[in-house]
Amino acid sequence: MLVNFPPLSLAVAAVAISPPHQVRIVENAKHRLRSHDLFREVRDFGADVVAFANNFYPDSVVIQQTCQQLKEAFPGLQTVVGGQAPSFLPEEYIERGVDFVVLYEAEHTFRELIDFIAGVGERDVSEIEGIAWRDSDGQAVVNPRRTLIQDFDDLKMPRRDLLPHYPSFTHRGYPSTAIETVRGCPYHCKFCTRPTFWGKHREYSNERILEEIAVIKRQGFKELMFTDDMMATNAPKMYALCEEMIRRNLQINFGGALRADTAAKKPELIKIMRRAGLFFVNVGFESYSKKALKGMNKASTIDLNRQASETLRKHGVLILGSHVYGAPGQSDQDLALITRDGMEHCDFFRMNMYTPQVGSALFYEMTREGRMPSRNPEMFNQFEYLFDDGRDPEDMKWGFVKRQLQYYLHPSILKHALRGKTPKEQIIRRAYLSAAMFTGYRSLRKIGIEIM
Ligand code: B12
Ligand code: SF4
């Protein structure tokens, strides 16, 4: 969709590896490597350790299988997985053949783990905080969690130099990249994993962010994605950052996630963010039903959704609107509203099946109450209906597909595929085509046709 930048997590993890060790990033999402390509990379590089990033739980299946196959092909190789899903379910990964899991924040833990694997120092594996590993009986051991990083300003800059080139949306011929300016989110939406994953909401200082943006500019990037769970929850800090970006003439286009209530209640903030370079935001509108918004603890309203859209449009910021389908409290009529109001509120529409993501409050609630019909990781792909609540999962899936198609095939939306004169129209066209392809692919799978 509107996202075109290389993965920051790997560039952050790579910082942990310094001479005499060497590191290479193999980026699969862009290069669509087959497993034999990956094996060739491992052989050519002479890797001793292969480490995977895994935020999305459904990907755990292929990652665990690949780790097992790598171990068979390269005896002595150590495999590591870091990211969200393994942090919440480390035992599952160790039991399925992964050697080490790096839990939660990687920076210090991964460096210590690499030193341990390389035989540097005398430490026992049980002393490395924040990892999971396998003992001599084959049992998973989860070490105590590491204390949270308090001062991000001491961290080295991510190794963006190791990442592949991703073309930016807004500056033809120039690359785009990502930056992190906060960890965590002060809100507690029931379906979201962010408050539980990062533990506590923490911020990079504006000075550090400005320094990093200056480095990014010198490296030739023209477009930036804020990977923050939520931008501007500290509005005065964001305001000050934007003022300084303008004063220092940093001139970089950026985007990221923004709450509807922030956009609705703080038009002055949106104005200055736009002046500093904000060109798109991902807003979790989620639903246009009061009951559903309340049920998911969204702390927002239908009215704020509408006002947010108006404010952002007024300032010329492109809106990627995220929605959920099938949340408790959403009646059939409400579900129909999502596509209708989504068309009005957003430039780009995204809708996922409401899912009890591993690590979210919803997941623990459903597990406790035994109301989740499956624990198969692939069922958490945000396409399946995973609630035992009397609604027919097949009906829900069909309804979901129907609503997606209804949106993408609507004449007022379809025209985006054909038109693209102004820069804004061209961005919308590219995003439309990639989203429509993705939706089409999922819909074909629904009727049993596999094309990839
Ligand atoms: C950017 C992003 C994307 C981009 C990724 C593009 C890219 N090239 O990076 C795109 C748009 C493609 C994307 C897609 C999806 N995303 Co996304 N995404 C994000 C986002 C906003 C930022 C990720 C990021 O870069 N964070 C900054 C880095 C530094 O943090 P990190 O990744 O967590 O890494 C740290 C640790 O986890 C750990 N670590 C991570 N990887 C590794 C690897 C190793 C080796 C080690 C040692 C450590 C380690 O160390 C890092 C530093 O401490 C996150 C939310 C967030 N704020 O993190 C959601 C998020 C990860 N995405 C999410 C979702 C749901 C999706 C999609 C399913 C959306 C959809 N319906 O299509 C897909 C799934 C794609 C997939 N298969 O993974 C959810 C995951 C929820 C879940 N439980 O699965 C999140 C958490 C958003 C949310 N609020 O719910 N996403
Ligand atoms: S959905 Fe957004 S606002 Fe809600 S807790 Fe997650 S990151 Fe925060």
Of the candidate ranges 44-58, 66-80, 315-329, 399-413, the one whose mean pLDDT is the lowest: 399-413
* Helices and strands (H and E) in the chain: how many: 19, 13
Residue 283, ligand 2, Cβ within 6 A: no
Of the candidate ranges 29-38, 177-186, 232-241, 359-368, the one whose mean pLDDT is the lowest: 29-38
Instruction: Give me the mean pLDDT over the 220-238 stretch.
Output: 96
pLDDT digits (tens, 9 = 90+) for 164-205: 988 888 888 899 999 999 999 999 999 999 989 998 899 999
Residue 449 vs residues 93, 151, 296, 301, 446: alpha-carbon distances, Å: 30, 50, 34, 39, 7
Higher per-residue pLDDT: 76 or 407: 76
Instruction: Give me the mean pLDDT over the 305-316 stretch.
Output: 97
Peptide bond preceding 164: is omega within 30 degrees of 0, i.e. cis? no
Which ligand is nearest to the Cα of residue 198, counting in written order? 1
**In this predicted structure, what is the pLDDT of residue 450?**
65
In angstroms, the CA 102 to CA 80 distance is: 7
Adjacent-strand bridge partners of 140: 134
Of the CATH numbers 1.10.486.10, 1.10.640.10, 3.90.550.10, 3.40.50.280, which one belongs to the domain with range 8-142? 3.40.50.280
Residue 192, ligand 2, Cβ within 6 A: yes
Of the CATH numbers 3.40.50.720, 3.20.20.70, 3.30.565.10, 3.40.50.880, which one belongs to the domain with range 165-408? 3.20.20.70
Instruction: Give me the mean pLDDT over the 44-52 stretch.
Output: 97
Residue 66 contacts residue 38 (beta carbons within 8 Å): yes
Q: Which residues line ligand 1 (CB under 6 A)?
A: 3, 5-9, 12-13, 29, 51, 53, 55-57, 59, 80, 82-84, 102, 105-107, 110, 178, 180, 192-194, 227-229, 352, 357-359, 382
Adjacent-strand bridge partners of 131: 102
Q: What percent of the chain stands above pLDDT 90?
A: 74
**In this predicted structure, what is the pLDDT of residue 415?**
79
In angstroms, the CA 283 to CA 292 distance is: 17
Residue 378 contacts residue 64 (beta carbons within 8 Å): no
Instruction: Give me the mean pLDDT over the 73-79 stretch.
Output: 96
**Choice from 84, 201, 227, 230 to test ligand 2 binding pocket (greatest atom count within 8 A of CB):** 230
- Ligand 2, residue 195: give the atom nearest the CA: 5
Instruction: Give me the mean pLDDT over the 246-272 stretch.
Output: 97
- Ligand 2, residue 185: give the atom nearest the CA: 8
CATH 3.40.50.280 domain extents, the chain = 8-142
CB atoms within 10 A of CB 123: 11
Which ligand is nearest to the Cα of residue 29, counting in written order? 1
**Choice from 185, 188, 294, 352 to test ligand 2 binding pocket (greatest atom count within 8 A of CB):** 185
**In this predicted structure, what is the pLDDT of residue 226?**
97
Residue 360 has pLDDT above 60, yes or no: yes
Give 139 Cα–ligand 2 centroid separation in angstroms.
35
pLDDT digits (tens, 9 = 90+) for 137-173: 999 999 999 999 999 999 999 999 999 988 888 888 8
**Choice from 55, 84, 187, 320 to test ligand 2 binding pocket (greatest atom count within 8 A of CB):** 187
Q: How far does Cα 417 stand from its chain's mean position?
A: 26
- Cβ within 8 Å of residue 46, ≥6 positions away: none
Which residue type does 3 have? V
Which ligand is nearest to the Cα of residue 284, counting in written order? 2
In 32-88, which residue ranges form alpha helices assigned H by DSSP?
35-45, 60-73, 84-88
CATH 3.20.20.70 domain extents, the chain = 165-408
Residue 446 has pLDDT above 70, yes or no: no
pLDDT digits (tens, 9 = 90+) for 84-109: 999 999 999 999 999 999 999 999 99
- Cβ within 8 Å of residue 367, ≥6 positions away: none
Sign of the torsion angle spanned by Cα atoms 31, 35, 40, 42: positive
Please give, one letter per residue, the 3-state secondary structure of 176-231.
Answer: EEEECCEECCCCCCCCCCHHHHHCCCEECCHHHHHHHHHHHHHCCCCEEEECCCCC
Residue 452 has pLDDT above 80, yes or no: no
- Ligand 2, residue 230: give the atom nearest the CA: 7
Give 197 Cα–ligand 2 centroid separation in angstroms.
12
Question: Does an H or E element contain 286, and which?
Answer: strand 278-286
Q: Whose CA is nearest to atom 29 of ligand 1?
A: 9
pLDDT digits (tens, 9 = 90+) for 366-387: 999 999 999 999 999 998 999 9
**In this predicted structure, what is the pLDDT of residue 51?**
98
Question: Does an H or E element contain 301, and which?
Answer: none
| Residue 420 DSSP symbol | -
